[in-house]
Chain A
Amino acid sequence: MRRVYITGIGQTPVREHWDRSARDLAASSILQALEQAGIDKADAIYVGNALSGELTGQEQLAALIADFAGLTGTEAIRVEAAGASGGAAVRLGYLAVASGVHDTVLVTGVEKMSDLSGPAVEEALATSTDEEYEAIHGLSIAASHALLMRRYMYDYDLERRDFAHFSVNSHRNAVNNEYAMFRRPITVEAFEKARLVADPISLLDSAPVADGAATIVLCSDKAAGKRANSSVEITGSALATDAVALHDRPNPLFLRAVQESAHKAYAQAGVTPKQIDIFEPHDAFAILAALSLEASGLAPEGEGVRLAMEGEIALEGRIPICTMGGQKARGYPVGAAGVYQIVELAQQLRGDAGANQVDARVGMTQSIGGTGATAVTHILRSP
């Protein structure tokens, strides 16, 4: 296997971009990444996108994006794995370069969500669950996570407000991220008072759907040349799956795919959980971030929420998470999220994170589909 470097990154602000469609957003992030990498073409483009057909009526999105980014003719494929689409696209890009098939690839994550209204978006998001046995019963994606959160509160004797610290942390970190959607801090009190979307999950516990695109350039050491010395390297990459439906898992509070992908990535990178300096988890809901910390070995079982309550997830804490705002406050363009995570972690590991800079050598991202059926873990190392 060959070494794989990130030689360019690009991102659009995460917003409701009324004036831009998916192709515009994607092309814009691609042009930024190409310029930063000092190249004008790539061997292939992997496009992470969850809901383009469902939300915008556009399929065959990868070919469209290649054309509008000025890369007509380039190998281009869309990768779908619900909320893990972005991470899964990074995984394919990594495989293509590590295997020696390609020397330079683009991985783009894009989602255009603001064209449809609430119930239609909820219907689209629920397609990540088991359609015949979960969605048909009117379970929204928030409701599925609410079932996890309620049981977790019962098992570990916690209250709804105890989960606030994840959102408080994400919003605080987003203040300094110009690409983030919500750049205002929130309080525990505001979290407590927020309107419920699926009891006990509230608006301030749900990552906001939004429009956005992010792109990374992945290069072999040969293609990176001298840039390799100043580039972030992907040292671990793994994807694992679990039953799609919560009811098909022996213990719904155990995220098996997260554990498997994390442990494979640790082994490949030659690190232990203790050596992870910074973590970008899939915080679509606080309960998912808590369960991810536990399944990844960064918190003992049942202690994920306490880690947040004790301030250990803050920039100055033991394991900083969502350092640029995470899904909760940077915003959650579903299929793009996994690529935004890599872009943000690369900023941190290059020392380009501005006011939110963490002293970090090794970092980890995790991209999750639905309630945990697909989990993609990547471990990155600073230059």
Chain B
Amino acid sequence: MSLAKHWRLQQQRYRLIGVQCEDCGAKLLPRRLVCPQCKSHNLQPYSFKGQGMVYSHTVVYDAPSGYDGYVPYPAALVRLDEGPLVATQLTDVDIDEPYIGMPVEMVTRRLREHGESGMIVYGYKFRPKLKD
């Protein structure tokens, strides 16, 4: 398993850094070179706050290799306050708790381990929003 493969995504994985289109204002995660809305190439880094609501959710029972030790686990599409959707696991929550519209916030957690090398990949997950 390549270290570089995960290292180069650390800005996105640890800090939810995407881009904002300087021409039409679109906020995009993940980053891209071309704005899908207006085709502008003028995209600058943008840091998302990591707050949002559950757009849809599931519980995974039959998992891919590397994740089968964690089943069952909840996953979701989260609608960030700034607009984009993000695919993520939910954490600090029972599997029957999530609902569409649930307020959630980003935290950093272990995403997976790679068995033989023992490398651990960290990144974002979302948990129910703590009371302000």
The verdict on A348 contacting chain B, using a C-beta distance below 8 Å, is no
> A368 vs B113: C-alpha distance in the bound complex, in angstroms?
31
Interface string of A239-251 (1 = CB under 8 A from B): 0000101111000
Determine which residue in B61, B64, B77, B88 has the highest number of CB atoms from chain A within 10 A of its CB, and name it: B64
Q: Chain A contacts of B75 at CB under 8 A?
A: 137-139, 143, 147
Contact of B85 among A119, A201, A252 (CB under 8 A): A252
Q: Tell me if B121 and A136 are in contact (CB < 8 A).
A: yes
Contact of A247 among B9, B65, B87, B112 (CB under 8 A): B87
Interface extent on B, as a size class? 35 or more
The verdict on A73 contacting chain B, using a C-beta distance below 8 Å, is no
Q: Tell me if B58 and A147 are in contact (CB < 8 A).
A: yes
Interface string of A179-209 (1 = CB under 8 A from B): 0000000000000000111111100000000
Determine which residue in A140, A154, A195 has the highest number of CB atoms from chain B within 10 A of its CB, and name it: A140
The verdict on B62 contacting chain A, using a C-beta distance below 8 Å, is yes
Q: Chain A contacts of B63 at CB under 8 A?
A: 119, 122, 138, 140
> Known contacts being A150-B100, A247-B87, is A123 close to B66, with CB within 8 Å?
yes
> A315 vs B77: C-alpha distance in the bound complex, in angstroms?
36
Q: Tell me if B87 and A199 are in contact (CB < 8 A).
A: no
Q: Is the interface of B mostly helix, strand, loop or mixed?
A: strand
> A132 vs B10: C-alpha distance in the bound complex, in angstroms?
11
Q: How far is the CB of A252 from chain B (nearest CB, A)?
A: 7
Contact of B64 among A126, A148, A150, A201 (CB under 8 A): A126
> A195 vs B72: C-alpha distance in the bound complex, in angstroms?
13
> A196 vs B67: C-alpha distance in the bound complex, in angstroms?
17
The verdict on A82 contacting chain B, using a C-beta distance below 8 Å, is no
The verdict on A68 contacting chain B, using a C-beta distance below 8 Å, is no
> A364 vs B89: C-alpha distance in the bound complex, in angstroms?
38
Q: Chain B contacts of A136 at CB under 8 A?
A: 111-112, 121, 123
Q: Tell me if A119 and B65 are in contact (CB < 8 A).
A: yes
The verdict on A267 contacting chain B, using a C-beta distance below 8 Å, is no
> A154 vs B100: C-alpha distance in the bound complex, in angstroms?
8
> A248 vs B27: C-alpha distance in the bound complex, in angstroms?
12
Q: Chain B contacts of A252 at CB under 8 A?
A: 56, 77, 85
Q: How far is the CB of A21 from chain B (nearest CB, A)?
A: 22
Instruction: Name the residue of chain A whose CB is nearest to the CB of B71.
Output: A138
Instruction: Name the residue of chain B whose CB is nearest to the CB of A148.
Output: B56
Contact of B58 among A118, A120, A122, A198 (CB under 8 A): A198
Q: Tell me if B59 and A196 are in contact (CB < 8 A).
A: yes
The verdict on B68 contacting chain A, using a C-beta distance below 8 Å, is yes
Q: Chain B contacts of A195 at CB under 8 A?
A: 61
Q: How far is the CB of B29 from chain A (nearest CB, A)?
A: 8
The verdict on A222 contacting chain B, using a C-beta distance below 8 Å, is no
> Known contacts being A122-B65, A147-B76, A246-B77, is A138 close to B70, with CB within 8 Å?
yes
Q: How far is the CB of A356 from chain B (nearest CB, A)?
A: 31
The verdict on A146 contacting chain B, using a C-beta distance below 8 Å, is yes
> Known contacts being A119-B68, A136-B123, A143-B75, is A199 close to B112, with CB within 8 Å?
no
The verdict on A151 contacting chain B, using a C-beta distance below 8 Å, is yes
Determine which residue in B77, B86, B89, B111 has the highest number of CB atoms from chain A within 10 A of its CB, and name it: B77
Q: Tell me if A246 and B85 are in contact (CB < 8 A).
A: yes
Contact of A140 among B29, B30, B62 (CB under 8 A): B62
The verdict on A214 contacting chain B, using a C-beta distance below 8 Å, is no
Interface string of A133-145 (1 = CB under 8 A from B): 1111111101100
> Known contacts being A147-B76, A150-B56, is A132 close to B30, with CB within 8 Å?
yes
Q: Chain A contacts of B48 at CB under 8 A?
A: none
Q: Tell me if A151 and B100 are in contact (CB < 8 A).
A: yes
> A135 vs B73: C-alpha distance in the bound complex, in angstroms?
14
User: Told that A138-B60, A143-B75 touch, could you supply 11 new A-B pairs with CB distance under 8 A?
Assistant: A119-B62, A119-B63, A119-B65, A125-B64, A133-B30, A137-B89, A138-B66, A138-B67, A139-B75, A199-B59, A252-B56
Query: 9 shortest A-B CB distances, which residue pairs?
Result: A247-B85, A146-B58, A123-B64, A138-B67, A151-B56, A122-B64, A119-B65, A199-B59, A197-B62
Supply 21 A–B pairs (Cβ within 8 Å), ascending by A: A118-B62, A122-B64, A125-B64, A130-B87, A132-B30, A137-B125, A138-B67, A138-B73, A138-B112, A139-B75, A142-B62, A147-B57, A148-B56, A151-B55, A151-B100, A195-B61, A197-B61, A199-B61, A245-B87, A247-B77, A247-B86
- A residues sitting closer than 8 Å to B (CB atoms) are 118-120, 122-123, 125-126, 130, 132-140, 142-143, 146-148, 150-151, 154, 195-201, 243, 245-248, 252
